[in-house]
Structure 1
Amino acid sequence: MKFAIAVFSPAQAPASRRALRFAEAALAAGHGITRLFFYQDGVHSASSNVVAPQDEQDIAQQWRTFVQANQLDAVVCIAAALRRGVLDEREASRYQRPAVNLQQPWELSGLGQLHEAAQTADRLICFGGD
């Protein structure tokens, strides 16, 4: 089975941790992941400036490691990211901002990527949000 996974909650939220564990279990069971899509506050999971307290798991780093190790398509909604100050090099330059906090393996893109993922996957699984 092929899954598209959408994450709406930030890294420190239980929903983000559950999404990561689901994705790990899906791959371990032989399923595929067509795309990970981070939307709303979920875009914070892709920020390289997230620092977890010493007594908590660093879910943002775990996401980065998971995506890289499995060479997954990991997309961050550009509108949600810009609204929350999550910028790649191109957008930081475009909006004349001094900081870049979105780096590989993440890619900024629009909601069309979520729609496409939902169309190509067998199931769209969403975590978090209101």
Structure 2
Amino acid sequence: MQFGILVNEGPFNHQAADSAYQFCKAAIGKGHTVARVFFYYDGVHNANRLSEPQADDRNVVRRWSELARDHGVDLVVCVAAGLRRGIKDELLAEGFRISGLGQLIEVGIQADRTLTFGD
């Protein structure tokens, strides 16, 4: 099965980003494909390479980057939501790219299922 994922919450203020990441890992581990993760609203903060959590905390941004690198998952940050929150190309962590809502519509059409994490 091919999944599209929508993440609407930031990495440190809500469980949604962690849940989305864990879902992606589990799905890939079971042989499914995660075609794209689209970060919208405060979810764009998952892409901020300047994020530096404490040493004893999980590094959600790095986890997403590793998922993209190791499994070819397309990580897309909404351009409008990103710019409203100060997230620009030069601040993106490895594996992320900026694009428009068309990328969310496209994965919604192409994927077997699209799941939303966060309000």
Q: TM-score, normalised by structure 1?
A: 0.86
For 1:20, the equivalent position in structure 2 comes to: 21
- 1:107 and 2:108 aligned: no
Aligned counterparts, 1:10-49, within 5 A? 10-12=10-12, 13-49=14-50
Trace 1:1-130 onto structure 2 (pairs within 5 A). 1-12=1-12, 13-88=14-89, 100-129=90-119
One-letter code aligned to 1:2: Q
**When the two structures are superposed, what TM-score results if normalisation uses the length of structure 2?**
0.94
Find the aligned partners of 1:103 and 1:21 in 2 and give their Cα distance. Answer: 19
Write out the 4+ residue segments of structure 1 that deviate beyond 6 Å after TM superposition.
none
Q: Is the 8 A contact 2:61 2:93 kept in 1?
A: no
1:53 Cα deviation from its structure 2 partner = 2.1
Equivalent pairs, count = 118
Q: Give the unaligned 5+ runs of structure 2.
A: none
Q: Once superposed, what is the RMSD of the aligned Cα atoms?
A: 1.1
| Greater C-alpha Rg | 1
- SS across alignment from 1:126: strand
Cα distance in 1 for residues equivalent to 2:5 and 2:28: 12
Counterpart in 2 of 1:94?
Answer: none
Percent same amino acid among aligned pairs? 39
Q: 1:103 Cα shift?
A: 4.3
Q: Which runs of 5+ in 1 are unaligned?
A: 89-99
Q: Is the contact between residue 10 and residue 17 of structure 2 (CA under 8 Å) also seen in structure 1?
A: yes
